[in-house]
Structure 1
Amino acid sequence: MDSPPLYLPLLLLTSLLTLWQGAGAQSLFTIDSVTLKLDPSGEVTSGTLMDLNCEVSVSHDQSQPLTHSFNFLRDDVLVYSKNTTEPAVLHQLTPARAANSGTYKCQVIVQDKSKGSSTHRLTVTGLQTPVLQVNSRMPFEGDEVAATCSAPDESGSLLFHFYQDQEKIKQVRATGNSVDTRLELKHAGDKHLRCYFEITMLPAAGRSNNSNTVKVMVEELFITPVMNILPGKDVIEGDIVEIVCRVVNPPPNVAVFLTKDKRVLKTASVSLSHSFRVLAEDSGEYVCKADRGNVQKEAYKSIKVKELFSKPVLVMKPREVFETEFFTLNCYTDRYSHERINISEVKYSLYRNQVLLTSGGNYSATAHPSLNGNYSCQAQAQGRGQTKKIFKNSTQIVLKAKVPVSVPLLSVVGGMLILGKPFQLQCQSDNGSLPITYTLLSPHRQAEFRVVRSPWDLALFNITSIHRSTDIHSFSCKAENNPSQPHMESSGEHLRRTATIIEPVSRPLLTMTPNMGDVAEGENLTLTCTVQRGTPPITYTWYHTKSALPLLSKTTNGMRSSHSVQGVSREHGGGYYCVTNNPSNDSQRSAIVTVGVKLAGWKKGLIAAFCILLTVSLIIIIILVKKCLLPFRRERTVELSVKPASTKTDETLRLTHGEVNEAANVTPGVMGRSVWSDHVSGSESDDQTSEETTEVPVPQYTEVHPQEVDLTRAPVKKGTDTVYSEVRNSNQARFS
């Protein structure tokens, strides 16, 4: 058991002193400095005496010195500790080894304060030369000797290497500075042993020098066995052979083994004898081995055994037989030893499933499932001068009568085919031994072959398409598995009975009732979707071009279906089409039928009545307006305005074309009068005008041709003034 580290009791003592000091009066102090010195410093060789001196400087107010705890650390690991009132402590490495290499530091603790020195690197080069010792200098070959390799002054984990001459024979890891092990010396002769070591945790330290060399004389073991075979190496089956294997003048602890083909036949101490009756398979090489420890010596001898008779051969004809076919079994040997037996002395027996079938070498029968099994032949003979018979068995023959192929059935894979699309046909026989060759026959295509060799294979034939349901009747299939027998052919009845033939729907025709393009509002609209061909059930779906959603979908067995729209309104106008589908999943779409929605009859009558009423109302209004305007029109029919005479004699007469026309449209009584009048005086003209206004009769409209104004005509004069008469036409005269 490992002892506790040395620094643990020291740390405990330091803690107790610190507590004792803390119980007394508190002192005032400060740690000024901590100094570490290595002598010699830096890099030193292994075996050098090293001094590590740590000094501390403390300022305090006590008359007695304070207790200092000195701790020496290598690579931050405590390696030495001491408590003292002295200001310096010396730690010695006597001597320094490679394991002492590292970074050193001194840490000083005074009561509750601590301070460390600067670090110093120490490198110790070189390793101690190890010492090798063995417990025996004259072992036998194959023996093991105890060896010890040690480096007493080294520390740490060491890895030791052992060599025999220039060959490394072992490697051992040790926790201390020495190791004990056993070394096996395999070969005889003078051997030189040595060892060296490495420090596991310091690979940079390298390897040590080789240890001292130990000479060992390995003695040879004379245990090579002697092997004899009686009566000799060449024998005949049935002879007794004895093999003797022994070691002459053996050392202790020797064992011998007799083996053949790595199989141990017998073992004993020092010597053995093995006797047995030989057979042909006993021919070969025998090995006699002498074994002591890890050393083996061997001797080899071969035996050649001649057959008394050869292994029997069982032959079945034909090699493959079908049920109800005739087969024969024949057993024979083709070689035998003439000096020991005659061929007639070899006797045969036939067995089925290891049960005697017949005594003799021949057997014949008609194949049947009850005769299936494993057949074998056994031959026996006894040579001259031999006391026991030799038995030999032939290789077994497995007889399993093949089953003739039955009539194949031709079927559609999946049970359904669609006209115009590819499909598969399967040809299969319920009975028949594999392999079976299937042939698909059709007058419109070349014959195709499929060979089914395993139960998981299927005879599948890919058909491009057929376009008429009656074309399925042209396919047939034949199957054969015995070339000596006629093939079996399907009748096609099963295919016609089981195949479901789907004819895709033709393009539908969409018609409407009423069949005219327009439908009156409120009437019923019927859309009929019709197909010419297709296997039912057929799904009819109606669509309006304004929406992608279907209006209605129906599935029926008929070739047509209808969709009715009750009470057509303006929203029902537009394009319609239908889509048909059946189990072929091949949809067909009709052409678009446009439906126009016209006004209802009562709406047309109402509009016509309203138009007539409006027309009559307008006529009445016009008549009333004319009657109201008639008196006013009479007053303004003819208005003759005569202007007073002007003092100017050079004025010309002005008369518009309209005024001429109005003047022409006068009453018959006035028509003879000229538009030109002589006014005697202004009062007379006024009286005349007034009188005419009150007595003018109802005007009569007569076509008047205006006359051109004669500008050469002399104006009417009164006194010295020239008087012009002006005919004016009123607005009312224009209406007339």
Structure 2
Amino acid sequence: MAPGLSYKLLLLLATTGLLNLCQCVEDQSSLYTIDTVELQIAPSGSVESGTPVSLRCEVSVSHDPLLHLTHRFHFVQNDRPVHSLNTSEASALYQLAPARAADSGKYECLVDVEGKSRRSVPRELLVKGLQTPVLQLSNTTLFEGVEITATCTAPEEKGSLLFYFYQASRSGETRRIKQVGPSGSTSETKLVLRQAGDSLLYCDYDITTLPEAGRSNASNKVQVIVRGLHFSPVMNVLPSTTVFEGDVIEVVCRVVNPPARNVEVFLNKDKRVLKKASVSLSHRYTVQSGDSGEFVCKAEWGSTQKETHQFVRVKDLFSAPHLRMDPIDVFEGEQLTLSCSLPSYASERISNDSIKFSIYRGDMKLTTTETYSTTARASINGNHTCRVEVVDRLGQTFRKDSETVVLKARVPVSKPMLSVVGGRLVVGKPFLLRCHSQHGSLPITYTLFSPLPRAQDVRVVSRPGDEAVFNISAIQKATDIKKFLCHTRNNEHNPPMVSSEVRPDAQIIIEPVSKPLLTLQPNTGVATEGQDLTIICSVQRGTPPINFTWYHTQKPQPLDTKTLDGTKGSYVIKGVRGEDEGGYYCVGNNQAEDSKSSFVVTVGVKQAGWKKGLIAAFCILLITAVILVIIIKKGRLPLRRKRTGELSVKSASTKAERLSLTQAEVVTANVTPGVMGRNVWSEHVSGSESDDQNSVVPAEEPETQYTEVQTRPLDPNRAPVKKGTDTVYSEVRNSKQGASEQADNGSVEYAQLNRDTENEHHNHNDHGDHHDHSHGDHGIQGDHVIDHIVDDHTVDDPIDDLIDDLIDDIDDVELTEGGECNGERSAPDC
């Protein structure tokens, strides 16, 4: 076998054996179980303090005999571990020797066996009573106030102890003198016994964590002898406890019957140590004004202190001087007096002649007398004092100053000025008016007088920076601002200062614009196309600059806006057109921001004259074309008429006669609209062809009759006619029903167009007469007369001559057609 293969085989066998061993160990370790855990307390669960107590824990485990188990015991008091033990034995012991009150509580035993654990049933232990403490003192014989060291101990007690120390006198009175703690089983402290005599000291304690255990028994009592200290300090003040300023005094402080040479003596005043020495001291000094007070002499030995007190009064040789200013509230320019006085002095030590007065402003001496008079002004403002120098009978010089008097002469109020807050007001709107004096000491009273119903208003300015501002409702005219006045006063002894009137030129006074007036130029309300139209917007009142804005009622955007310095503005429409018709208005506004609109003015637009002439010329050409078309059609259509009556022809020798005929006889009932004021063709004529073509020919044709039309005499007032004679025919056809009916081929009657070149107005009147006659002729029954009336024009032109010639030709054709007798050549008249 190869060496490498043998090595691998051995490694595999070893690994397999190790795994089997681990599995075996694991299987064996699980072959046990904890049956019971029991805790026992001996001698019992309730014992006196100091009794030894044993706690035994036993465990019962079922296991494979081949297993060697280790038990770990845990003793727990009130859920707090207190003792642990590892053993292979089935029991463990925990001893409390001796048991103390702190050992009371509930105990349990917890056993761990190879990863498994079990807990016993809790058992309660009650330890009654506390250990009696022991007191020890560092010294049992001592002086009052001397410290001693006291130690109270309970060495076997457990827990946190609080110690108390007591002193019992021979009379049986007991008092607690100190409390120390909490600490361990021993407490050491310092005690100071201040009561002389014999007494007993003892101590006791309790456990802070176990209050139900109560207080321990008292310790042993130790007798202490306290000796009294019979030393005391003594203080003497020489020459007296009442002295004058400048006197020299001596304060002596010493100890009587000192217990030792190391007794210290202190001289204090106002909690300040003046001097320190052993057993005795002496302090000598010159007292000053204000040195009155209590002196303290204190003797100190160890922790014992004794003291004595003495009050020393220091009298002033003279009081501080008093400086008075009259008047207290003085204004610049008024008379001022400063007076210095000495309220009191010791006449037994000071003579009258030894008193000297001086008055100072700052460090500068103003006078060496008792009074100083001057005129108040800004240059003498400042701090003023009075100084008094006195020489007593011993030759000592004393100097005292008065309290400082501050002189600040008040400034009289200056003439006030009235101004508009912001420098701008709008007539008719509220504004603020300020009254201000450039100079003047506060407080200042401002009184405003106004022309408004509330004629008087008062403001008092007391703090720097404040101003007298008055709320004004409104003024109705710009000149009303001049009627406001302001009075100021800061001295009731002087008359008030009166302001000047508010100058309008010094303020910006804005008067709102009045309602604008919109006018036109030309002022006819109707503009001709192509002309210029000027729209003027003006206001009677308003502070410039003024904004004028023009609007068309049918257009959302303004037409134009102008800002002008005057009260009138204009907007020009160049070359008026039809769409410029409609309503126009304007709006005026200025800095018052109170816009006002004018009333709406309506503008009409009429056509230009050249357009009317162009339309007339077009109509003439159209009429001419229609006449030519009719003539051509009349010449081509065959005339098929039956002649049933006799045609009577009468010629009219003049155009005047034709005109008379036209005016006198019938007018068509339904006339085609006239061109240039003239009616040319009747509706029946224009529609005859269509009627003939669309109608069915009856079995018997209507009979055609010709009637002679008589002419009226010529009006002598009319101008002579221009042409020769013409013949006018009127054709009437009667139907079988007796009603007037038009012939098949449309017989046409013509009227000569006459023109009066002299009187156009007369022709128009004649035109009105034509209408009257037409209405009258409608009353004829059985006959329907067709006639065409043409109004005359005052101007003779080639077009009229052409129309006249055409009408003459048509008459000739009609006559020829009548002569043919509707195609019957055998008729006599044909």
**TM-score normalized by structure 2?**
0.62
Q: Residue 229 of structure 1 corresponds to which residue in structure 2?
A: 237
Deviation sequence 1:263-306 (CA, Å, 0-9, x none): 54444443332323334433444333334566543323333444
Tell me the SS of whatever aligns to 1:282. coil
Q: Give per-residue Cα distances to partners, 1:387-445, cap 9 Å, x unaligned.
A: 52222222222233433433332222222233333333333232333333433344666
Whole-Å separation in 2 of the counterparts to 1:387 and 1:292: 46
Residue 88 of structure 1 aligns with which residue? 91
State how far apart, in whole Å, the 1-side matches of 2:130 and 2:571 are. 111
Distance 2:344 2:467 in 1: 48
CA distance in 2, matches of 1:462, 1:480: 20
1:89 is matched by which residue type in structure 2? Answer: A
Letter of the 1:338 counterpart? S
Give the partner amino acid of 1:302. F
1:439-473 per-residue CA deviation (whole Å, 9 max, x = no partner) reads 33446665544443332332333333322222222
How many angstroms apart in 2 are the aligned matches of 1:492 and 1:50? 115
- C-alpha displacement of 1:367: 4.1
Match of 1:590 among 594, 597, 609: 597
The answer to whether the 8 A contact 1:32-1:58 is kept is yes
What is the Cα deviation at residue 550 of structure 1? Answer: 8.2
Indicate yes or no: 2:255 matched with 1:247: yes
Q: CA deviation at 1:342?
A: 1.8
d(CA) in 1 for partners of 2:233 and 2:190?
29
Instruction: Trace 1:507-656 onto structure 2 (pairs within 5 A).
Output: 507-508=515-516, 531-539=539-547, 556-559=564-567, 581-585=589-593, 587-590=594-597, 593=600, 622-629=687-694, 632-635=696-699
Aligned pair partner of 2:471 in 419, 443, 462: 462
Change (3 A) 1:629 1:328: closer
1:126 touches 1:205 (CA, 8 Å); kept in 2? no
Indicate how the Cα distance of structure 1 residues 472 and 636 shifts in structure 2: closer, same or farther if over 3 A, else same.
same
Could you give the per-residue CA deviations for residues 207-232 of structure 1, whole angstroms, max 9, x where no partner exists?
53364365655554445422222222
Q: In 2, are the aligned partners of 1:160 and 1:196 still within 8 Å (CA)?
A: yes
1:311 to 315, 320, 326: 320
Code of the residue aligned with 1:209 in structure 2: it is S
Offset at residue 324 of structure 1 (A): 4.7
Shift of 1:498: 3.6
Which of 65, 73, 76 is residue 76 of structure 2 equivalent to? 73
1:423 counterpart = 2:426: no
Matched, 1:375 2:440: no
Show the counterpart of 1:173: 182
2:34 is aligned, of 32, 35, 40, to 32
Cα distance change, pair 350–87 in 1 and its aligned pair in 2 (3 A):
same
* Shift of residue 343, structure 1, vs aligned partner: 0.9
Following superposition, the deviation at residue 242 of structure 1 comes to 1.9
Q: Residues 170 and 423 (structure 1 numbering): CA distance in 2 closer, same or farther, change over 3 Å? A: farther
Q: Go from structure 1 to structure 2 and tell me whether the alpha carbon gap of 1:589 and 1:389 turns closer, same or farther (over 3 Å shift).
A: same
Matched, 1:471 2:480: yes
CA contact (8 A) 1:381 1:389 kept: yes
Classify the secondary structure of the residue corresponding to 1:414: helix
Q: For 2:345, what is the secondary structure of its paired residue?
A: coil
CA shift for structure 1 position 93: 2.0
Rounded Cα–Cα distance in structure 2 between residues aligned with 1:545 and 1:48: 122
Could you report, residue by residue, the CA deviation over 1:142-184 in whole angstroms, capped at 9, with x for unpaired residues? Answer: 444333333323333444455665457444332x332323345
* Inter-partner Cα distance in structure 2 for 1:72 and 1:466: 104
State whether residues 238 and 383 of structure 1, in contact with CA within 8 Å, keep that contact through their aligned partners in structure 2: no
Cα deviation per residue 1:223-266 (whole Å; 9 max; x = unaligned)?
A: 54222222223333333222222221234554444344445444
Contact 1:425 1:462 in 2 (8 A): yes
Q: Residue in 2 aligned with 1:347?
A: 356
Instruction: Select 1:332's aligned residue among 322, 325, 341.
Output: 341
Matching residue of 2:403: 395
Whichever residue aligns with residue 232 of structure 1, its letter is: S
Q: Structure 2, unaligned stretches of length 5 or more?
A: 1-20, 168-173, 623-671, 706-731, 740-830
Paired residues for 1:163-202 under 5 Å? 165-166=174-175, 169-174=178-183, 176-185=184-193, 195-200=203-208, 202=209
Give 1:355 shift. 4.5
Q: How far did residue 477 of structure 1 move?
A: 2.9
Aligned to 2:108: 105
Amino acid at match of 2:185: N
2:139 pairs with 126, 136, 154, which one? Answer: 136
TM-score w.r.t. the length of structure 1 is: 0.69
Q: Is the 8 A contact 2:390 2:399 kept in 1?
A: yes
**For residues 565 and 141 of structure 1, what CA distance do their matches in structure 2 show?**
127
| Secondary structure of 2:251 counterpart | strand
Q: 1:305 to 1:58 in 2, by over 3 A?
A: closer
- Aligned pairs, number: 622
Give 3-state SS (helix, strand or coil) of 1:327's partner: strand
Distance in structure 2 (CA, Å) of the matches to 1:88 and 1:519: 136
Residues in 2 aligned to 1:350 and 1:54: alpha-carbon distance in whole angstroms: 106
SS in structure 1 of the partner of residue 290 of structure 2: helix
Q: Distance in 1 between matches of 2:557 and 2:196?
A: 104
Mark the CA change 1:442 to 1:523 in structure 2 (over 3 Å): closer, same or farther.
same
Matched, 1:275 2:277: no
Moved more, 565-574 or 436-445: 565-574
The CA distance in 1 between the partners of 2:211 and 2:559, in whole Å, is: 94
What CA distance in whole angstroms lies between the structure 2 residues aligned with 1:190 and 1:35?
62
2:216 counterpart (198, 209, 214): 209
Looking at structure 2, the residues matched to 523 and 45 of structure 1 have their Cα atoms a distance apart, in angstroms, of 139
* Structure 1 segment 461-500 matched on structure 2, within 5 A: 461-483=470-492, 487-492=496-501, 496-500=504-508
Q: By how many angstroms is 1:88 displaced? A: 0.8
SS at match of 1:633: coil
Q: Which stretch shifts more, 25-34 or 392-401?
A: 25-34
* Cα 1:402–1:47 shift into 2, 3 Å: same
Question: 1:63–1:371: structure 2 CA closer, same or farther, 3 Å change rule?
Answer: same
CA distance 1:38–1:441, shift in 2 (3 Å): same
Query: 1:548/1:469 Cα in 2 relative to 1: closer, same or farther (>3 Å)?
Result: same
For the residue of structure 1 that corresponds to 2:735, the secondary structure is coil
Is the 8 Å Cα contact of residues 280 and 305 (structure 1) preserved in structure 2?
yes
Contact 2:37 2:118 in 1 (8 A): no
Percent same amino acid at aligned positions? 46
Question: 8 Å contact 1:310–1:334 — kept in the other structure?
Answer: yes
* Contact 1:508/1:588 (<8 A) preserved: no
One-letter amino acid of the counterpart of residue 215, structure 2: S
- With over 3 angstroms needed to count, the CA separation of the structure-2 counterparts of 1:234 and 1:467, relative to structure 1, is same
SS of residue in 1 equivalent to 2:479? helix
C-alpha distance in structure 2 between counterparts of 1:548 and 1:195, whole Å: 111
Change (3 A) 1:405 1:187: farther
Task: Tell me whether 78-87 or 176-185 shows the greater mean CA deviation.
Answer: 176-185
Q: Which has the larger displacement, 94-103 or 615-624?
A: 615-624
Whether the aligned pair in 1 keeps the contact of 2:135 and 2:203 (CA below 8 Å) is yes
Choose from 729, 735, 752 the match for 1:701: 735
Q: Name which of 61, 65, 69 aligns with 2:64.
A: 61
Residues 162 and 169, structure 1, Cα contact 8 Å, conserved in 2: yes
- Distance verdict in 2 for CA 1:246–1:30, change over 3 Å: same
Separation of aligned partners in 2, 1:567 and 1:206: 125
Deviation at 1:43, TM superposition (A): 6.0
Deviations 1:527-567 (A, max 9, x none): 87654433344456678999999898765545456788999
Greater Cα shift, 448-457 or 209-218: 209-218
Q: 1:238 aligns with which of 246, 251, 260?
A: 246
- Opposite residue 634 of structure 1, the aligned amino acid is P
Does structure 1 conserve the Cα–Cα contact (< 8 Å) formed by 2:580 and 2:605?
Answer: no
